[in-house]
Structure formats: C-alpha cells, structure tokens
Amino acid sequence: MCGIAGIVLKQVSLSIRESIAAMALAIKHRGPDGEGFILGTGEKTIPCLRSDSQQTFTKADLAYLPKVKLESPENNAFLAFAHRRLSIIDLSDSGHQPMCSPDEKTWITFNGEIYNYIELRKELQDAGFLFKSESDTEVILTAYRHWGTECVKKFNGMWAFCIYDSEKQICFASRDRLGVKPFYYVDTNNFFSFASEQKAFVKANLINANFSLTSAHEYLINGLIETGVDNFFEGVKELFPGNNLIYSIKDKTVKIQSYYKINITQKNEALSDNELIEKIEARLIDAVKLRLRSDVEVGACLSGGIDSSALCGIMHKVLNKSNYCFTSVFRNETFNEEHYADVVAKSIQAKYFKVEPTPADFLKELDSLVYSQDVPIWDTSTYAQFKVMELAKQHNIKVVIDGQGADELFGGYHHHYVAKWKNLMSAGKFAKAFNEVRSAGKTIKDPLSFYIKEKIKANTNVSKGQFPIFFTKEFINAGRINNSSTYFNTVNEQLLDDIEHSRLKSFLKCEDRCGMWHSVESRTPFSDDVELIDLMFSFNGNRKIKNGVSKYLLREATKNVLPAEVYNRYDKRGFETPMKKWLIPLKSLMIDEINTSGYNFVKPLNANAINLENQAQLKLLFKLFILGRWKKVFS
C-alpha cells in the first residue's frame, strides 16, 4: 500500500523535477517509509532520490535502487514517476519502487496488494522467470512481461499501478475491479499526469483548486460525488474500476479498456441453500487467509455488526491468536454498538481498543478530515472511520481488515428488501411478497409503511421542497434532479447498481482516504476478492434475504465464528455518529461561514428559516458548510 504519481510531458511546459517532487510530497502520508523517483530521457531511465533524502540502501545489485539525485540537471527528462512506500510485503531494499525489469525496459510504480502473488510467482518461475525480491510488485511487473495487459485478469487483490514500457513507448495503468485503490489522471495539451490523490495535482500546480458547477450541483442537490469520469476537481478524471488505461507516448493519446465487469448468472442457482452456504464459507475463509499475507501485523476494524464481526471471527480461527481490533463508540446514544463489539472482542480474546469521537474534536479536526478526503463529505460518520484508523496507527498497526462491501454483495440495506418485494410482485407471487414484507418487521420498523414511502421516493426527490431556502433558482435548474430512490427489478440488479454507480464506489474512497491519511492499509475481502464477488452474483439474489433477514447467506456462512448475540441481531449500524446532536450547536457557525463563502449560487441564509429538526435541511446546511471548508483547505 503506497502512493503513486507520474508525469509525461507532451512539450516542455513545466519543470518536471519540481512537479514530481511536489506530487510525492503531497501524498507522503500514503507512504512514510520510503520514497523513490525515476526520470525517463528517451535513451535511458534513471532511478533517483531527492537531494535531502535520508534513505540509504545496502544492496548494490538492484538496478532500480537510486544512485543519483532528482535535482541533477544533466538529464533532459520527459517522463517522471514517483512512489511513496508503506512497507508491508518484503520490507527490504528489494521492495523499493519504482521497480524495473532485469533489462530495465519496463518500470512500475504500484499501490495496493496482489494477494495471490505467491501462486503467480510460482507460475511465472515455472515459465522460466527469475525473481530478485519477495514482493508482489515484482510479480506484477513480471506478469506484464509474460502476459501483457491481460495480466490483470490473473490478479486477486486491490491495485492501482502504472508501468512505463520504454520499448513499446506506452504507459500502461490499471485499477482493481471494484475500485478499492484510487487512480486519477489529468490529460492536457502539455502533459499527461496521474496520482493516487487529487491533491497531488493541486500541490504541483498542475490544476487549480476549482470545482465545476456540475460537481457542486450533483453534491448539493443529488447527494452524489464523483460518480462519473469527471471529478470534483475541474480537469481531473478518474480511471474507473475494472479498467485499464494506455497512454501512447508517441501519439500522445489516452485509451481506456475494460477488463472486468460483474456478470449476473445462474451458474450456482441449482445449489441448495446449505450447499451455497458451504461454498460461501469456504471462499470467505480463503479470502481472509490471502489477506492475512503480510510481513507486518494485521489488525481489524470492529463495529459489532455482522460484517466486521464475521471477519474478526475468521481471522481468529485462521491465526489462532489474539489480534488487534479497533472500534469507535458513542456512549449514551441509542445506536451505540459498543456492547456488541465488546461481545465479539471477548469471544476472540482480542487486543481491543476503543475511541470515542466528540463534537469538539470533530470541529477541531474538520479541516484535516476534509483535506484527507480530497472531496466534500456527506455526514459526520466519515469522522468515526477517520478516528478508528488513527487509533490503529497509534498502536503501530499498518494493516487492518475491514468489512466494506458486504452489504452490496449479500443484501444488507433496506432498499434491497424493496427490490425483492418488487420482484416477487412482478412475478405474481403476491402472497409470498406479503409474507416477506410482514417478516421484515424484525429488521424494519413498520415495513409496509416503509415500502409505501420508498415507492413515493422512487418518483420524487424528497429534499426538493427545501432547495429554494438555500439555492438560487438558476442553480437548482442547472442540472438533473434525481429521485431519492431508484429500484430495479431484481435484488442482484439493485446490488450491482450500488456497486457500480453509487454507494460502494463512494464508501471505498472514504475507506482509502481515512486509512491512508494515517498510513494504514485497509484490506476489504468483500470488495476485492474476485472469486467471492463472482460467486455472489451466480444465483438468484432473492436468496440473499430470507424470512425478513438481510444478509441471510453471510449470517449462516459465518455462524460458527459469530457469538450468538451478534448472529441473532437484525438491526444495522456501522461507524455512525450522532450527527444531529453534534450539528445543532453549530448552526450559527455553519450559517455564518456559508454566508461569507462567496458562492453566488447560495442564497443569504436566515437562521430563523432553517429547522435542523428537518433532516433534509440539516443535510443541506451541513453540505454547504463542508463545501466552504473544502474551499478553505484547498485555496
């Protein structure tokens, strides 16, 4: 897990050395253990270090270890890569990046983990390749040399990397299947550039810290951020999950190629529930085993819900030892999950640590939180995850296992119930649909009323009536206004939309930024194990919700590692915060900051006209407040 950046000049338009150094410094938090650069002149590629670097190397036989200073003026470079290292696998000099092939014709800067790297190395060794390191980075580079761009289909893991192929005169970049690891790029008439975080472009003066009106409209009106190719920062694009990018140095063009897309099949529909549960259990255990491969200790995030509790239980079963677990608590709150987390921690004899975020700390650290995310946040729950990752760092844990993605695979949200009910009714199975609605009462308060409300939300934006309080008419009409809910005809189609277009994409960005701000790698088996993902879309999605119980298959597959009290709970929380309680005392502060933000699409706000007991108004006020803070930290 690291930070990556690169620049390829199309014409001499900037100081490439200064720019790449600034980019690397901007993402130092992603890799505090080391730094490396390469400069490409066309005739040769030179590994470099900054002149003020304190790094020393003991191995003399590795061509990719730096021997010259980045600032040396004698080489006229058109290409530069940077790497910030968080040492997790192969902690020696051999794991240094950017790394090259033995013939020095291909170079890589890589962020992520390829969990099946041991098996792939063996396959490549059998094909005649030799290795000088124990790192997964060298496996990627060798896999590219052997299989070309098709190599990514072999990988099980999370990744964002760029390979400079000097022979083919291309830069080949790739991003993992569901987008656990970030990859952003800027393509102008003067240069092509990429980075793990958008702030790297800002700090190198490659872009201005501006957002487009379209981005602001999507965030404020529709509650969406960076769902398309164009990003919140004007001029920045995102390489979508499951895609490769090829930049032709000769033609100065960018080409995007898809290498993976989830396919909904019925491959395993003939399996009984018990057979399916056994298959899921076996895959989960293997997925966790792979994600425990590390040369440093691995901990876990624990909320007390099914997802994180299951992973903690499997970790304990696999390792048979006490593991580090971290959670956030909110005592005296109705949604506090501390008790359930305590139960899990006790059952696995965890080294267990808690943090209790406070509104005072939230306000104090808000600017750092917003800066860490690169983009405005939706609510205060991001801060809870931010503090959990900080807690892990305080206990010298570099790697944590987390449950992000389970809801989107196994059907964990309330709107997944609606998709099942809708599917049953469309098939004329009204009695079965009614029984499913009624049995959902153990999870959803008054499920019939919930269903009616959701049907209404599917045809309107429930916040629309509040927009005129905050925004000018021109801004409201400047873009599309989405309905509050969108429902598909099947559960799996609904889950797929959550994965590809809305929820998971955003949650994974938050996961990455919160962890990497504190130099902590987050591993998410539910979001990056390709075998598990494909398995979960190989049968009728209605089976994921049974007798009113969400994530039925996950619950049953992990029953043997869950305490009974957690197995039998049906509510859903996560790292939540008491948002309304925190924000009501900040009402005057938020309004004052918004009124002085200078945004011409925002009306002057009157405190008497805003009621924070109204959830829609609370969220709109908060988002405007955060947008102002975003402007402050990036200006």
Catalytic residues: 2
Rg of the chain over CA atoms, in angstroms? Answer: 25
Task: Locate 29 and state its tokens.
Answer: 């938090």
The strand pairing partners of 546, in sequence order, are 549
Quote the CA–CA distance of 132 and 62 in Å, as a whole number. Answer: 8
**Contacts for 443-450: CB closer than 8 Å, 24+ residues apart:** 443/414, 443/417, 443/548, 443/549, 443/550, 443/570, 443/571, 443/572, 444/414, 444/417, 447/417, 447/548, 450/414
Contacts of 456 (CB under 8 A, 6+ apart): 462
Quote the CA–CA distance of 570 and 549 in Å, as a whole number. Answer: 7
Quote the CA–CA distance of 47 and 39 in Å, as a whole number. Answer: 7
Cβ burial, residue 53 (10 Å; 0-12/13-18/19+): middle
CB 115 within 8 Å of CB 157? yes
Quote the CA–CA distance of 632 and 237 in Å, as a whole number. Answer: 22
Length of the chain: 635
DSSP labels, 269-318 = TTS-HHHHHHHHHHHHHHHHHHHT--SS-EEEE--SSHHHHHHHHHHHHH
CB 183 within 8 Å of CB 175? yes
| C-beta neighbour count of 616 within 10 angstroms | 17
Contacts of 64 (CB under 8 A, 6+ apart): 36, 38, 47, 96, 97, 98, 99, 100, 107
The strand pairing partners of 47, in sequence order, are 38
Task: Locate 93 and state its tokens.
Answer: 């000099």
Of all helices (H) and strands (E), which one includes residue 5?
strand 2-9
CB 207 within 8 Å of CB 634? no
**Contacts for 469-472: CB closer than 8 Å, 24+ residues apart:** 469/603, 469/605, 469/609, 469/610, 469/617, 469/620, 470/220, 470/602, 470/603, 470/605, 470/620, 470/621, 470/624, 471/220, 471/221, 471/601, 471/602, 471/603, 472/600, 472/601, 472/602, 472/603
DSSP labels, 110-149 = EEEEETTHHHHHHHHHHTT---S-S-HHHHHHHHHHHHGG
DSSP labels, 25-44 = HHTGGG-BTEEEEEEE-SS-
Quote the CA–CA distance of 107 and 144 in Å, as a whole number. Answer: 11
Dihedral sign from CA coordinates of 526, 530, 535, 536: positive
- In eight-state DSSP terms, residue 602 is B
